[in-house]
Structure 1
C-alpha cells in the first residue's frame, strides 16, 4: 500500500479514486474491498484483525479509498509505514448535506433493494454494508421487511464522528506522511505530495448528486454481475409462476377448490410438483 485516503466518505473519495488511477495507482474502493477481500473484512469487522492481516491483504494494492479503509487508516499505516496518508476534507455543513442525500438515494433505490433480495452476490454485499454501518459509522440500517432496508441518519452523531475522525488523523498521522487536502485545490498539491507529474486534464469529479449506486450498477462489473443474477432469478420466478398458473387453471373446478384450501406450504409443494414431476 502506497497511498491511504483517510478522508470520510462524501469528502470526494470517488473523485480521488479516479484521480489516483489517472496517476497510475491500482485503487481499491469499497466495492473492490468487498469483492476481493470480503472474507477478510467480514472477519475483521466481526472478530478483529492484526497488522499482519493488513500486510497480507494490501501487499499488492497501491491505494485505498473510502470505507472500510478510511476507518482503519492507522492500522493499515502500521502495516505499511512508508505509505502516504491523504485526509480529504470539506466544509462540515456541505459534507453532511451530501452524506444525507447519499443515504436518501440508497433508501429510494428500488433496484438496489431487488439486488439485495434476488442476487446471491447482492445478499453478500448487503451483509457487508450492514457490518460497515454497524462498525464504521456506529449506526445500523433498519430492515423493515424483505424488500425495505432503511438507513436513518442521526445528524448529531454523524457530525461528531466526522469531527472526531478528522481530528484523529490530523493529530496522529506522521506529519511528513500526511496531506490535508480539499479537492477544490486541484491537481497541484496532490501531485506534489505524491511526486507525480500534473496531468494535462481537468481534475475529475464523481458521484455528484449522490447517485453512487445508480452509477455503479451501470458501470462497475461487480454491480453489473449482481444485476444479471437478479434478472435471471426474477425471470425464472416469473416463468415458473406463469407455468404454475397455467397448470392450475387447466385443473377441474373440484381440484382447484381443494388446492385453494391447502395451507401455504402444501400449496408450494403442489406447485413445484407440477413443474418438477
Structure 2
C-alpha cells in the first residue's frame, strides 16, 4: 500500500481513482473494496480491526479511495505505516450539493433500486453499504432500497471534523491536503512521479455516478446481467403461474 486517499466521498474520489490509475497505481475504489475485500470489511466492523487482516487484504494494492477506506484510513495506515495520505477536500457547499445529487440519483433510479433488491450481487452490495456507509448516515435501511441523507449542517460539521482529524493525526511528512482542481503538479510532486503528458481527469462531476459506472465498472455490469437473468426467471414463473390458473379453470 503506497497511497491512502482519506478524503470523504464527493471530494473528488472518482477523479483520484482515475488520476492514480493513470500514474500506474493499482487502485481499489468503492466497488473494488466491495467486490474483492467486502466480506473482510464486514468482518472487521463486526469483530474489530486487525492489522494482520488489513495487511492481507491490501498486500497487492497500491492505493485505496472512497468507502470504507476514507473513514478507516487510520487502520490502513497502521498496517502500512509508510503509506502516503492524501486528504482530498472541496468547498463544503459544493460538496453537499454533489452528495445530495448522488443520493437523489441513486434513490430515483428504478433499475438500480431493482438491482439491489432482486439480484444476488445487488443484495450483497445493499448489505455492504449498510455496514460501511454509516459515517455519513447515508444508509440503506434493510430491506429498503432507499438511502437517507442527514441534515445539511450536520453533514458539513462531520466533514470538518473528519478533515481536522486527518490533518492532526497523519504524519506531516506523509500528508498532502489536496483539491482535484489543483491538477497534476502538486499530486505528482508529493508522490515523486513525473507529470504525465495528458490532461488531468475530472470524473463524476456533480454527483452523477451511475451513468459512468454502467459503462466502465465491471461489478455494475455484472449486476445488470444478473438483473436481466432475474427478470427473465420472474417472467417465466409468472407465465407458469398464469398457465396453472388457466388449467384450473379449464379442467
Would you call these one fold, judging by a TM-score over 0.5?
A: yes
1:157 to 142, 154, 159: 154
SS state at 1:150 partner: coil
Structure 2 Cα separation of the partners of residues 188 and 139 of structure 1? 33
> 1 CA distance for matches of 2:46 and 2:210?
25
| Change in 2 beyond 3 A, CA 1:43/1:103 | same
2:119 aligned partner? 119
**Superposition CA RMSD, Å:** 1.6
Aligned residues of 1:6 and 1:87 also touching (Cα < 8 A): yes
For residue 198 of structure 2, give the secondary structure of its aligned residue in structure 1: coil
Q: TM-score, normalised by structure 1?
A: 0.86
Equivalent position to 1:201, from 193, 198, 219: 198
Provide the C-alpha distance between the structure 2 equivalents of 1:182 and 1:247, rounded to a whole number of angstroms. 62
Match of 1:184 in 2: 181
Q: After the TM superposition, which residues 25-174 of structure 1 pair with which residues of structure 2 at under 5 Å, given as runs?
A: 25-134=25-134, 136-138=135-137, 140-142=139-141, 148-174=145-171
Residue 242 of structure 1 is aligned with which of 239, 242, 245? 239
Q: How does 1:230-269 map to 2 (within 5 A)?
A: 230-252=227-249
In 1: Cα distance, 2:33 partner to 2:227 partner: 22
Give distance in 2, aligned partners of 1:6 and 1:237: 42
1:24 shift after superposition: 0.3
Residues 191-242 of structure 1 show CA distances to partners (whole Å, capped at 9, x for unaligned) of: 0111111111110001113221332123211111111111101111112212
SS at match of 1:209: helix
Kindly tell me the number of residue pairs found equivalent between the two proteins: 251
Q: Which residue of 2 aligns with 1:273?
A: none
User: Residue deviations 1:10-48, cap 9 Å, x none?
Assistant: 010000000000000000001001100011001112222
Distance 1:81 1:157 in 2: 32
Runs of 4+ in structure 1 deviating by more than 4 angstroms, as ranges, are none
TM-score, normalization by structure 2: 0.94
Residues 86-144 of structure 1, C-alpha deviations (whole Å, 9 max, x = no match)? 0011111111111111111111111111111111111000000111222x32453345x
How far has the Cα of 1:250 moved from its partner? Answer: 4.1
Instruction: State the SS of the aligned residue for 2:71.
Output: coil
How many angstroms apart in 1 are the aligned matches of 2:107 and 2:157?
A: 23
Does the aligned pair in 2 maintain the 1:6–1:70 contact within 8 Å? yes
Note closer, same or farther for the CA distance 1:142–1:152 as it changes in structure 2 (3 Å cut): farther
Q: Which residue of 2 aligns with 1:12?
A: 12
Match of 2:225? Answer: 228
CA distance in 2 between partners of 1:27 and 1:118 (Å): 29
> Residue 236 and residue 138 in structure 1: after superposition, are their counterparts in 2 closer, same or farther (change >3 A)?
closer
Gaps in structure 2 of 5+ consecutive residues: none
Answer with 1 or 2: which has the greater Rg.
Answer: 1
